[in-house]
Chain A
Amino acid sequence: NAGVTQTPKFRILKIGQSMTLQCTQDMNHNYMYWYRQDPGMGLKLIYYSVGAGITDKGEVPNGYNVSRSTTEDFPLRLELAAPSQTSVYFCASIDQREVRKTQYFGPGTRLLVL
C-alpha cells in the first residue's frame, strides 16, 4: 500500500491564480481531511469528508473548496490564491472503524503564493 499520496510536492503560485492539490489514499478509508500547517501554528483543519459525496468545513475553510467523488480521492481547490495561503498542506485519512482513530498523513504540499 502506498498509503496517502499528495501531488505536487511544491508549487509557486502568483496572486489570483488557481490550483488543485491532489490527495489519494489506497487504504479504503472513508474519512479524509485537509490541514494547513503554518510555522509555529500546528495544524489547522480546512475541510473534511466522511465519505464520497459528503464534505464539510473545518476551522479555516475560507478561500478553499473540496470535492469527494470517490473514496480514494479528496482534492483541495484554491480558486484565487492569496499570500495568506502560503503554507504546507497535509492530507490525512483514518479508518473510521478503528477505535483509536489513527490519522495517516501524506507527505505534504508546500505552497508559496507571491
Chain B
Amino acid sequence: TQLLEQSPQFLSIQEGENLTVYCNSSSVFSSLQWYRQEPGEGPVLLVTVVTGGEVKKLKRLTFQFGDARKDSSLHITAAQPGDTGLYLCAGPTLAGGTSYGKLTFGQGTILTVHP
C-alpha cells in the first residue's frame, strides 16, 4: 500500500516567516503533485514534479522532489495571509502497472498565516 505522510499537520506562523512542509513515503512515486485547498472549495493543483532532484519555483513557493522519488517538500518564503489554506501532496496510485489517474493523498498540512 502506498502511503504519503505529511508533516507538520498544523502550522501557525506570522506574516513574513518562512516555512517548509514535508511529504514522505517508503514507496517510489513516478511523480508527485502539490495541491492547495481553501475552505469550502476543492483542491487546486499547484505543481507536478516528475524527476528525482527536481526543483520548481512558483513565485514564493519552492517545490523539491527527492532524488529517490520517495519524498517532496514545499518551502514558502515570506509567507503572507493569502497563503493560508490546506496543502496536500499526492502521487499516482498504481494498480497492475497503471494508475488511471487515481491519486493517493497525504493527510494535509493546515497552514495559518497571521497578519
CB within 8 Å of B: which residues of A?
4, 31, 33, 35, 40-45, 48, 50, 56, 58, 90, 92, 94, 96, 100-103, 105-108
Given contact pairs A42-B4, A42-B6, enumerate 16 new A-B contacts (beta carbons under 8 Å): A4-B42, A35-B105, A40-B108, A42-B105, A42-B106, A43-B43, A43-B88, A45-B102, A90-B42, A90-B43, A96-B101, A100-B50, A101-B48, A103-B43, A105-B44, A108-B42
User: Majority SS of interface residues in chain B?
Assistant: loop
Partner of A106, one of B6, B42, B92, B108: B42
Residues of chain B in range 40-72 having any CB-CB distance to chain A below 8 Å = 40-45, 48, 50
Summed over the interface, the residue pairs from A and B with CB atoms below 8 Å come to a total of: 60
Within the complex, what minimum Cβ distance (angstroms) separates A91 from chain B?
Answer: 8
Within the complex, what minimum Cβ distance (angstroms) separates A49 from chain B?
Answer: 9
